[in-house]
Homo-oligomer: A and B are copies of this chain.
C-alpha cells in the first residue's frame, strides 16, 4: 500500500543525534554525542529505596489510572519549588505534570499555533523542540544567538511582522551552544514580546546545573500578565528515564494543555510522579542540586582542558558555567560540508561521536561550521582520550 502521510510529518526526519547515537552501540566508540546527565550524578540508590516504599505502601495509586493534570501531591511540591524561584504566581498561574519537558514544549506549540503561524527560536537550537514545532506545520524562523542571548534587534524586526505566536528560548546553558542569556537581554526580550503580544516559551532544563558564576533569574519572574510559559524537568537532576517534566503558565493555557495531554497519553506514569514527589519530600532538592555541581564542574573542566591542550588552535569554543554542552566552531571559511566531513570522519574512522551543527539549524539549508560536544555522559578517561583523538584529527584537517 502506498501511504499519503500528513504533510506536517513527511518532511520530518529522525533526529541526526539519534542517528549518530546508533554508532554508540559499538562499545569502542567514545560518545560526546549524547545529551544525558552524568550517570554518577543520578541518585539511583535513593530512587530505588523510594520506589520500594511506593509499591509496598501505595500500589493501588501507582498501578491505576491517575488524573491528567498530574499526581496532586507532586503538583503542590512543584508549585512550592517554583514559588521559591519566583516562577509561580498563585493568582493566575497553574502547573501540569508532563512526560518530560519534551511534551511540555510540544503541547505548548500545539495549543497556541495554527498551521502557518510563526514561531521564533534561537538559531541554532534544540532539535527536539524544533522538530516538535515543525510537526505542527508552523512557520519556524531563527533569530541569531549571540554569546549573551539572541540578537534583540533581529528579534524585534521579526516580531514586527505581526504573526509571531511563540518565541522559544533556552536561556540557561543553551542546547547546543552552552550560552547563557544575560539579564539585560531577558528583560529586553520580555518587553519586546509583551509589546508585540507574542508568548515566550522559556525552556529551562539545564538551569540547575550551574557550577560557577551567578544565577540569573528566569524570564518567568518578570511575568505579570501570563505571557510566559515556563517548562522544566527532573530529567537532568533526578533521572531522564522516568520522564517527568512540568509546565507553569497562566491557568487558561494550562487548561488547554490539559485537554491536549489527555488525548496524548492520558497522564504521566504514576510511579514516576510518585517517585519525584517522595524525593522532593524526603530530601532537600536545592542541596541535592548543589551536590551535583562538583561532578559537572569537574567534567566540564576536564573537557575544556582537553580542548585547550589538544585541539587545533584555530577552533574556537564556548566555556559554559553549567549545563551539558560545549559548542565548537571550525576556522572561518570552513564550509558546512567540511564540518560534516570532520564529524563523520571522527566517528567512522576514529570512533569518537560528536554532533554536527547541521542537527541544530532552523532550516535544512542553513550553513554552519560548528559541532557540539557533550561532557556529562562519557567517563573521565574517555573525555581525555576523545579530546586527544579529535585534537589530532582537527590539526590534520585544519592545521595547528
Q: Which residues of A contact B (CB under 8 A)?
A: 1, 3-9, 12-15, 18, 21, 34-36, 39, 42, 44, 47-48, 51-52, 55-56, 59-68, 99-100, 102-103, 106, 110-115, 117, 128, 131-132, 135, 165, 197, 199, 225-227, 239-243, 250, 252-253, 255-256, 258-260, 262-272
Are B60 and A240 in contact (CB-based, < 8 A)? Answer: no
Asked if residues A260 and B112 are in contact (CB atoms below 8 Å), the reply is no
A–B Cβ pairs within 8 angstroms, 6 of them: A1-B226, A5-B111, A12-B256, A18-B68, A102-B264, A115-B115
Is the Cβ of A51 less than 8 Å from the Cβ of B55?
yes
Contacts of A197 in B (CB 8 A): 1
Identify which of A5, A12, A68, A263 gathers the most chain B CB atoms within 10 Å of its CB: A263
Instruction: Report whether A266 and B102 are in contact in the complex, using a CB–CB cutoff of 8 Å.
Output: yes
Are A266's CB and B252's CB within 8 A? no
Contact B100 A266 (CB under 8 A): yes
Is A262 touching B55 in the complex (CB atoms < 8 A)?
A: no
Contacts of A60 in B (CB 8 A): 39, 44
**CA–CA, A12 and B269, complex, Å:** 24
**Shortest beta-carbon distance from A242 to chain B in Å:** 6
Knowing that A63-B241, A100-B266 touch, tell me 17 more A-B residue pairs with CB under 8 angstroms.
A3-B250, A3-B252, A6-B117, A9-B260, A44-B55, A44-B63, A48-B59, A51-B51, A51-B55, A99-B264, A99-B265, A102-B263, A102-B265, A132-B264, A243-B267, A243-B269, A269-B269
